[in-house]
Amino acid sequence: MDSYRFGAGRYIQENNALDFCGEEIKRYGNKAYVIGGNTAIAVTEKRLCSSFEKYGLAYYMERFSGYPSVQKIEGLKAVVKEKDCNVLVGVGGGRIMDLAKAAAFGLGIPIVAIPTQAATCAAYSPLSVLYTPEGHSDNYIHFEYEVNAIIVDNQVMLTQSPRLLASGILDGMAKYIEIATLHPKVLDGNTSIARNSAFYMAKYTYDVLGQKGEKAVSDLKTGVWTKDLHDVIYVNIALTGIVSALMQGKGQTALGHAFNNALHRDFLEYIKKWLHGEGVALGLLAQLVYNGEDDRVEELKRLMKEFDMPCSLAEIGINTSPEINEKLFQRLCTYPFMTHDKEHEKLLKKAIESVGE
């Protein structure tokens, strides 16, 4: 069955959205299990609890700061059942979203996402990225239905760091660079309308983030809400998630994301202090070389430097060598995007070497 899960049943992004989140969550259940990161709960707890009480929503709240591992997912499922909760609410960043989604879908109960940052599209995408308890990349879980609701409070978004927003901008821009690798095949007469739509939406996303991204990060630094900031957050979370859904999480040469995952598999001690979008951006530099678009590398580096992102493996502490490059090559060859012929393997080796220094 060629089915699509477009990410979210309802998407709400406005000022003071937290103030009526209790009413929204009660659409799906009358007893909520709320799990969030320490910082996320700190900036939302007072308003969350006030709204829950106003609308008569019973709840239990947990703070969690680890990784979305199989072990934690099973533990969370057990405690949600023990507390007899019938809706799960994730509050925070990508790790919390992936954890909450996986547990909710495993239990077969509704999931409401309340992101406190726009560093990824994790709140929107109907999949979870899993890690080991130590933080190594592990696996993906694709879900059969969407997140029930996403509640984005603009005032909460003002509390995130500019670095987190910049990370989301590069993560969002990655979709076009990754999908464009298939060009012109993505645009031929035999390609599905969904993939053609994904291509054009990814291009639009890329253009909006390129035009408004730096201004939005600058606005966030001043702590003043602007339309550019609103638009970039919408694109980072919602549109990027829709593009991923249209591609059904496959059919693209996602070297940017694969590169970041490979670093989390084999070089965790170096990459763990960098955000998801920062690791993806490093992979995008390699992706452009793989795509034969070497002339665009400096343009991307300029934006990354503006956002104080690392532009080489050396800048994250990895002193490359033939052995290091071969290790990355062998790991990347295990990902589904890789075409196993001499031409593409040569391109991949060139791409890896290009981000060494």
Q: Could you tell me which residues are annotated as the binding site for glycerol? A: 171, 257, 276
Residues β-bridged to residue 112: 89, 149
Instruction: Name the maximum alpha-carbon separation found in the chain.
Output: 64
Instruction: Give just the sign of the alpha carbon dihedral 128, 334, 200, 292.
Output: positive
Specify binding-site residues. 94-98, 125, 127, 131, 171, 257, 276
The CB density around residue 328, as the number of other CB atoms within 10 Å, is: 27
In angstroms, what CA-CA distances link 62 with 32, 36, 91, 93? 11, 7, 10, 15
Specify binding-site residues for NAD(+). 94-98, 125, 127, 131
In angstroms, what CA-CA distances link 150 with 5, 164, 321? 15, 19, 44
* 43: its two tokens: 């900036």
* 295: its two tokens: 């002339």
* CB contact at 8 A, 112 and 148: yes
